[in-house]
A and B are shown apart, each in its own frame.
Chain A
Amino acid sequence: MAFFETHNISISFGGLRALERVSFEVNKGEVFSIIGPNGAGKTTIFNCINRYYNLDEGAFIFKDKNIAKVSPHVVADLGISRTFQNIELFKNATVIDNLLLGRHRHRRSNLFMEALFSPSVQRQEIESREKAEEVIDFLDLQAYRDQFVSGLPYGVQKTVELGRALAMEPELLLLDEPSSGMNMEEMEDLSFWITDIKEELGISFLLVEHNMRLVKEISDRVLALNFGVVIAQGTPNEVLGHPEVMKAYLGEEGASTAG
Chain B
Amino acid sequence: MRFLMKRNYNQDIQLFKYRSTFFWYLALIIGCCLLPLVLDDYITSQLSFICMYSIATVGLMLLTGYTGQISMGHAAFFGIGAYTSAILTSKGVPFLLALPTAGLLAGFIGIFIGLPALRLSGLYLAIATMGFGFIVDEVLVRWESLTNGNMGMMVDPVSIGPLTFETEVQFYYLTLVVLVLTILAAKNILRSPTGRAMIAIRDSEVAAQAMGISMAKYKTMAFAISAFFTGVAGSLYGHKLTFINPESFTILVSIEFLAMIIIGGLGSLHGAVYGAAFIIFLPQLIIMTKDYMPKYLADQTGLESALYGLMIMLFILFEPMGIYGIWRKKKFYFEMFPLYKKDTFKKEKKYFKAERH
Which chain A residues have a beta carbon within 8 Å of chain B's beta carbons? 50, 52, 71-77, 81-82, 84, 88-94, 97, 100-105, 107, 109, 111, 114-117, 121-122, 124-126, 129-130, 146-148, 151, 164, 168
Assembly CA distance A105 to B196 (angstroms): 12
Which residues of B159-203 have CB atoms within 8 Å of chain A's CB atoms?
Answer: 185, 188-189, 191-197, 199-200, 202-203
- Asked if B192 and A92 sit within 8 Å, CB to CB, the answer is no
With A114-B193, A115-B185, A126-B9 in contact, do A147 and B354 touch (Cβ < 8 Å)? Answer: yes
- Asked if B267 and A125 sit within 8 Å, CB to CB, the answer is no
With A93-B199, A114-B193, A115-B189 in contact, do A102 and B211 touch (Cβ < 8 Å)? Answer: yes
What sequence of 0s and 1s flags, for each residue 200-233 of chain B, a beta carbon within 8 Å of any chain A beta carbon? 1011101111111111100001000100000000
A sample of 6 cross-chain residue pairs with beta-carbon separation below 8 angstroms, ordered by A number, consists of A90-B199, A90-B200, A101-B196, A114-B193, A125-B13, A147-B350
Cβ–Cβ < 8 Å partners of B208 in chain A: 90, 101
Assembly CA distance A100 to B193 (angstroms): 8
State which of B15, B196, B202, B353 has its C-beta within 8 Å of the C-beta of A100: B196
- Asked if A104 and B9 sit within 8 Å, CB to CB, the answer is no
Answer yes or no: B301 CB below 8 A from chain A CBs.
no
Known A73-B209, A93-B200, A93-B203; 10 more pairs at CB < 8 Å = A81-B210, A91-B204, A92-B199, A111-B221, A114-B192, A125-B12, A130-B9, A147-B350, A148-B350, A168-B211
State which of B10, B195, B213 has its C-beta within 8 Å of the C-beta of A73: B213
State which of A105, A115, A116, A122 has its C-beta within 8 Å of the C-beta of B212: A105
Assembly CA distance A105 to B208 (angstroms): 11
With A90-B204, A130-B9 in contact, do A76 and B192 touch (Cβ < 8 Å)? Answer: no
Cβ–Cβ < 8 Å partners of A73 in chain B: 209, 212-215
- Asked if A71 and B194 sit within 8 Å, CB to CB, the answer is no
Which chain B residues have a beta carbon within 8 Å of chain A's beta carbons? 9-10, 12-13, 15, 185, 188-189, 191-197, 199-200, 202-204, 206-216, 221, 225, 267, 350-351, 353-354
**Minimum CB–CB distance for B218 against chain A, Å:** 9
Assembly CA distance A107 to B218 (angstroms): 14
Most interface-central of A72, A151, A168 (chain B CB within 10 A): A72
Cβ–Cβ < 8 Å partners of B194 in chain A: 109, 111, 114
Assembly CA distance A93 to B206 (angstroms): 16
- Asked if B193 and A107 sit within 8 Å, CB to CB, the answer is yes
Assembly CA distance A72 to B216 (angstroms): 11
- Asked if A125 and B192 sit within 8 Å, CB to CB, the answer is yes
- Asked if B207 and A84 sit within 8 Å, CB to CB, the answer is yes
Cβ–Cβ < 8 Å partners of A88 in chain B: 204, 206-207, 210
Nearest residue (CB) in A for B66 is A92
Assembly CA distance A103 to B12 (angstroms): 16
Assembly CA distance A257 to B293 (angstroms): 86
Assembly CA distance A82 to B213 (angstroms): 14
State which of A50, A122, A125 has its C-beta within 8 Å of the C-beta of B209: A50
Assembly CA distance A73 to B196 (angstroms): 15
Assembly CA distance A74 to B200 (angstroms): 17
With A72-B209, A73-B215, A97-B196 in contact, do A151 and B188 touch (Cβ < 8 Å)? Answer: no
Cβ–Cβ < 8 Å partners of B204 in chain A: 88-91
Assembly CA distance A90 to B228 (angstroms): 27
**Minimum CB–CB distance for B3 against chain A, Å:** 10
Nearest residue (CB) in A for B190 is A114
- Asked if B267 and A104 sit within 8 Å, CB to CB, the answer is no
- Asked if A104 and B196 sit within 8 Å, CB to CB, the answer is yes
Nearest residue (CB) in B for A46 is B210
With A77-B212, A81-B210, A102-B211 in contact, do A109 and B193 touch (Cβ < 8 Å)? Answer: yes
Cβ–Cβ < 8 Å partners of A164 in chain B: 211
State which of A84, A115, A117 has its C-beta within 8 Å of the C-beta of B206: A84
**Minimum CB–CB distance for A18 against chain B, Å:** 18
Cβ–Cβ < 8 Å partners of A90 in chain B: 199-200, 203-204, 207-208
Most interface-central of A71, A101, A102, A151 (chain B CB within 10 A): A101
With A109-B192, A114-B189, A148-B350 in contact, do A126 and B13 touch (Cβ < 8 Å)? Answer: yes
Assembly CA distance A55 to B197 (angstroms): 27
**Minimum CB–CB distance for A122 against chain B, Å:** 6
